[in-house]
Amino acid sequence: MATNITFHPGSVDGPERADLLKQKGVTVWLTGLSASGKSTIACALEQHLLHLRKFSYRLDGDNVRFGLNKDLGFDEKSRNENIRRIGEVSKLFADSCCIAITAFISPYRADRAGARELHEKAGLGFVEVFVDAPLQVAEQRDPKGLYKKARAGEIKEFTGVSAPYEPPENPEIHLRTDQCDVAESVRIISEYLAQKGFI
């Protein structure tokens, strides 16, 4: 761990930044099984918010592994570190008054709680969205063919098949994506953000 470091505050604090940009930062954390609809909803939500002229940015689980997290695997320790890093990155985005939208399986409650705590300690908003599709529905969708490979033993430690997924116990938003479509999901999240004063 680095020890010879000192935090250097900027000349603009959080409230002044929010006032100047006319927007408060928040992280919308989408969690759920592979093929539950996280990435699809995140893309649509980002587009909707940008069309409202709201500074928004999407962090996608697969995309981040092409760069920032390309050194990580899918064992439990790597998954923990993956989410720790994204918790920190999304906090930076939220601190800049961005609406950060994360789409990560993030299977462990403790890791999601850690991301929430980072935001809360910094006085930043954190909205956990459980993108909930029953396993059988996710397997039927299987757009990347990952469940088929996992069932065949070609992918080890695959969430929902050979690795656990711990569903949120008290998410701010619970989307049943076997019962509502993408447009409805975006509407539900947007209404919540509006109620909380983020848009």
Q: So which residues are the catalytic ones?
A: 106
> What is the distance in angstroms between the CA of the first residue and the CA of the last residue of the chain?
38
Angle between helix 76-95 and helix 109-121 axes, rounded to 10 deg = 20
- Nearest one of 63, 136, 158 to 102, comparing CA atoms: 63
- Complete DSSP assignment for 110-170: HHHHHHHHHHHHTT-EEEEEEEE--HHHHHHH-TTSHHHHHHTTSSSS-BTTTB-----SS
Determine how many CB atoms are found less than 10 A away from the CB of residue 123. Answer: 11
- Nearest one of 131, 127, 129, 102 to 197, comparing CA atoms: 127
Token pair of 180, please?
A: 């509502």
CA dist., res. 98 & res. 22, Å (int):
11
Strand, helix or coil at 7?
Answer: coil
CA 68 to chain CA centroid, Å, is 15
